[in-house]
A and B are shown apart, each in its own frame.
Chain A
């Protein structure tokens, strides 16, 4: 095994900016009601300092200084440490030198190097290999990618259109309800759009997150090519993870894209503001909202793009009859659902514990409806609802809007 830290080396400057204050582990801040930072510390999955952002950064510096030999034992432990993280970026948000440190960048670079040394988790290796052939991490055949699409929608993929709806693997294979609701809304609103069909490949998000960068880049290159072929001006996403991957990873690797990127909540809230959405029905519901990390903290980190915090709330508040209540930890402070960063596949139990903590928090609002705007959050939160036998009903924002159009 060749030990190489070629990805991590790029983050050397960030690593040495950490002042080791420990604000990134847990924190209580009265003025904006911060009561926790790392979700895995809260649920007890992080057993030692090594798992916290500060510990991981310290380990990264030791690795660069060559004082941590890599062998079977240390490699395995490092994998456990670095993959026991949902890459939710809350440690970044609560770090007071955050302008100088890209925490998740460091973790993902470390993972990429571990992965190429063969220390990726078996579950991650498996979905990376599968995606290479079948373009999805769900171990599903590629030909089934369009099974979610009912005939009556009468959509032909890859037609020339101004807008491409990038469905994403989770909505294609698992949360088909979200893909259907999205398409239903677009149709009702008369939007000129197309989908990529079997030309849509995994966006690469799970692969980028766990460090399988080569396969991820292959997927990305293909997606960009087909979108450019259509000549679309904009791409819209119902998956927060796909959206973030296009916005961050693709732009970093492939340079500026020739099309605009819009998360569905951004697209719809704009149409609502312009008076182009006629809501005809009422929904008597008391709802709370879970902010996906990918469209909140991950965008805030970029600095180039404001986080999508108000857009989903504006959609919900535009629906007559909906009473909206915030959870205690919301917006930039939102508690991660636990699905992301390869955690769900790598450490299923711990991932589900995060989602359960979130459901318990949602229950405290007195709401019986929890809404989000990411199929992957939806999926983990739904599993937690089942596990807890909770009465909470889970919806995507698009599902609620579709009901009233």
Chain B
């Protein structure tokens, strides 16, 4: 440990006690990666605070020596936020995992940001409630703070949008150590049930920014009654164009909570995993309708079904969709991995019909790397898309790799980075703001936009200590 690191460990220990400060190499290694193909980066120190005040003290201390600070949730960022950990203090937020208040009268829930979406789902469900967007596919481990920093998307987001749309108020520790509340929480005496109406909306500044503007310590979110009735609709399309037509018509009804379009590979992978009705299908559409009771659910299902069938798609068995539905949060996901290969992902949001072009881009990319993929036993797949906010689809691509094959990970990294570049160049929108994506996004901003954000960063973080480099803001 360097002398500088030794000093900071001493100071942090005086804030948190010995138990929750470490600079030991084996510990640092455990924090040296996320789920991206990026190489390991070691921080100097890791801390695990329990309170907002401790987070504030850590940041104040870091400012004294301009030591970088990187907050961390479950560390499942697929885009390489670990790059910013070099010489940093990593703040592991997972001890701040309380559900502070489920307020049924005000229809809000207030949580500490280190809590997982899985725990939130569990506790709300016990009382008959839910948040709109249930959390990312990794909900069982991903934290509220991490997902809000990514504008994460998955379950429920056709209807409710990204997880950020759930939020009414945030408690944030600014890089200087000052603590602020946003939304109606800006009035110290007001309830935190409203996001808008107290002047400009600062909540949005701290959402989907990769954590660059502050450490989120508490979030208040809207809750809704848990749906009593659910309907599942599945269709087979003859080709991609028909699939998109059906997606468009179904989405236009503004009823389903989830709409997913599968490509041939995923249909077969799931078919082979036991969901027989998907076996051998080229394109399939999967629709979830949540409703307060059976009567409403039946009426809505009929309406959506008519909209879908107008496009000529044919109904198929919905057993996969029933398995996928929320009680089994994300269990289906790793199972698609052939033989247990590790996967690396791209995500990319585009208006529904732009997927036709994205699909071509994907084919071009995979063709370019065909030989290298064969040589290094990599399996890239155009997997699926899901509808976000009614008007957009989020395309998901994966590449499977044996990480212990020498050289394989480097090829993954090259192909993966090039993929992001191609998508952004064609107007694709990303949200996992690790280094590989965040820096690319920032380079594509109009210069006025970039300068405005940099000016804001300068005000909030004069010493540039919080995730330096994130979105190229420092």
Contact = CB atoms under 8 A, between A and B. Distances in A.
Asked if A pairs with B, the answer is: yes
B119 A21 contact: no
Contacts of B29: 50, 58-59, 62, 67-68
B25 to A, nearest CB: 5
Interface string B32-65: 1111000010000010100000000000000000
Given A19-B337, A62-B40, A49 B35 contact: no
B404 interface: yes
B26 interface: yes
Contacts of A25: 141
Contacts of A97: 334, 337, 340
B141 A17 contact: no
Report the interface size class on chain A. 35 or more
Contact of B141 (A23, A50, A55, A74): A23
A199 interface: no
Report the interface size class on chain B. 35 or more
B444 interface: no
Contact of B22 (A31, A47, A59, A69): A47
A81 B364 CA distance: 46
B184 interface: no
A305 B6 CA distance: 52
B46 A48 contact: yes
Contacts of B74: 22
B327 interface: yes
B454 interface: no
A153 interface: no
A58 B92 contact: no
Interface string B274-291: 000000000000000000
Interface string A44-80: 0001111010111011001000011100011001100
Contact of B30 (A50, A69, A96): A50
A309 B74 CA distance: 33
Interface in B121-146: 121-123, 125-126, 138, 140-142
Contact of A17 (B34, B92, B342): B342
B26 A96 contact: no
Contact of A16 (B118, B140, B404): B404
A81 B453 CA distance: 42
B31 interface: yes
A365 interface: no
Contact of A50 (B26, B118, B123): B26
Contact of B33 (A17, A29, A56, A58): A58
A248 B24 CA distance: 35
Contact of A77 (B24, B33, B329, B340): B24
B26 A49 contact: no
Interface in A98-144: 99-101
Given A13-B404, A47-B19, A29 B30 contact: no
A29 B340 contact: no
A21 B122 contact: no
Contact of B92 (A48, A77, A101): A48
14 contacts: A17-B342, A21-B334, A27-B116, A28-B140, A29-B118, A30-B126, A35-B122, A49-B30, A49-B31, A50-B22, A50-B30, A59-B29, A73-B24, A100-B340
9 closest pairs, A vs B, by CB? A100-B340, A55-B30, A22-B141, A50-B30, A28-B122, A31-B327, A96-B334, A17-B340, A28-B118
